[in-house]
């Protein structure tokens, strides 16, 4: 059965809405140019010489999709009115939720790629190719799109039975078993990141062979630390709260989660030596001095 009551029993949330609108608006203003410029630099200057560049391009695309979903949210929280209909509400919600899923996977791919480059530099060369990277990213987007179909249908049923519900203001997740998959996915990706971080940290403390030489170990570890922060601060809390409680209860965390798209460009910077410089035939997979 669907709970078709208004979120929080009609509690007056007007004092919160300007804050939500300001956060989403700020993320939109910062996130659009940061990710657009990052996407241009990765695609045009680094020439996809490394698998990490492929994963980062797709991460930037995921963040841009999140950014373009924010103007309707800003309008809704600024005015309290939703003029675009139920289907627009569903797909804008999907864009946000897709960002958490795709970003968590792409960040994990970047983490695993760093692990292979540092810990298994020779044995992983046949795996760490741009072709395999594009195949992996195609699989991620297919997975995300397929996930959208049952979830969108569930949202549609919920909104159709709820005549007085507002967009983004739901009393509880409309399809409980499907909604539980997101925190499971995030926890799984976080576990992989933790394991990779431990293995790379242990490897960097040893004397590396010439094939795995890393001149700037600080940059390498910063990548892993930033990945863990992304999961601990932006992805996991909102996934758990919206599953355990309600979507309205998780709105502050939704605001916080949207900030991740403004911080991802830092990940690109620390992942490549001379991020702003054009790379011609150089493997930029491991940061160098």
pLDDT digits (tens, 9 = 90+) for 194-242: 999 999 888 887 755 444 455 567 777 888 888 999 999 999 988 887 7
Give the domain extent around 257: 17-271
Residue in the structure block whose two tokens are 């797909």 = 91
User: pTM (2 decimals)?
Assistant: 0.83
Residue (of 216, 176, 137, 118) closest to 2 by Cα position: 176
In a domain, 107, yes or no: yes
> Does residue 16 surpass a pLDDT of 60?
yes
For residue 206, the model assigns a pLDDT of 74
> Does residue 12 surpass a pLDDT of 60?
no
For residue 215, the model assigns a pLDDT of 56
Task: Give per-residue burial for 240-266: e unless 16+ CB within 10 Å, then b.
Answer: bbbbeebbbebbbbbbbbbbbbbbbbe
pLDDT digits (tens, 9 = 90+) for 230-240: 999 999 988 88
In a domain, 287, yes or no: no
In a domain, 285, yes or no: no
Output the six-digit token pair for 249: 């209860």
> Does residue 280 surpass a pLDDT of 60?
no
CATH number at 209 reads 1.20.1070.10
In a domain, 7, yes or no: no
In a domain, 55, yes or no: yes
Q: Helix, strand or coil for residue 220?
A: helix
Q: What percent of the chain has pLDDT over 70?
A: 74
In a domain, 289, yes or no: no
In a domain, 227, yes or no: yes
In a domain, 11, yes or no: no
Q: Please tell me the total count of domains within the chain.
A: 1
């Amino acid at each position: 059965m669907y709970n078709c009551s208004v979120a929080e029993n009609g509690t007056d949330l007007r004092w919160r809405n300007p804050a939500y609108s300001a956060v989403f608006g700020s993320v939109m203003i910062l996130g659009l140019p940061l990710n657009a410029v990052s996407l241009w630099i990765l695609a045009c200057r680094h020439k996809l010489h490394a698998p990490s560049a492929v994963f980062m391009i797709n991460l930037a695309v995921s963040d841009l999709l999140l950014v373009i979903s924010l103007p309707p949210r800003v309008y809704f929280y600024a005015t309290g009115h939703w003029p675009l209909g139920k289907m627009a509400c569903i797909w804008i919600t999907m864009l946000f939720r897709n960002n958490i899923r795709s970003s968590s996977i792409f960040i994990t791919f970047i983490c695993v790629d760093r692990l292979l480059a540092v810990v298994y530099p020779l044995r992983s060369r046949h795996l760490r190719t741009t072709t395999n990277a594009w195949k992996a990213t195609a699989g991620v987007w297919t997975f995300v799109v397929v996930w959208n179909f049952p979830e969108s249908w569930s949202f549609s049923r919920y909104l159709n039975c709820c005549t007085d519900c507002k967009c983004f203001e739901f009393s509880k997740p409309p399809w409980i078993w499907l909604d539980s998959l997101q925190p499971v996915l995030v926890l799984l990706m976080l576990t992989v990141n933790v394991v990779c971080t431990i293995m790379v940290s242990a490897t960097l403390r040893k004397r590396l062979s010439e094939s795995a030489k890393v001149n700037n170990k600080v940059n390498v570890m910063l990548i892993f630390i930033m990945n863990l922060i992304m999961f601990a601060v932006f992805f996991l809390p909102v996934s758990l709260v919206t599953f355990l409680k309600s979507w309205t209860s998780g709105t502050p965390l939704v605001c916080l989660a949207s900030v991740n798209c403004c911080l991802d460009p830092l990940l690109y910077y620390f992942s490549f030596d001379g991020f702003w410089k054009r790379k011609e035939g150089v493997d930029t997979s491991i940061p160098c001095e």
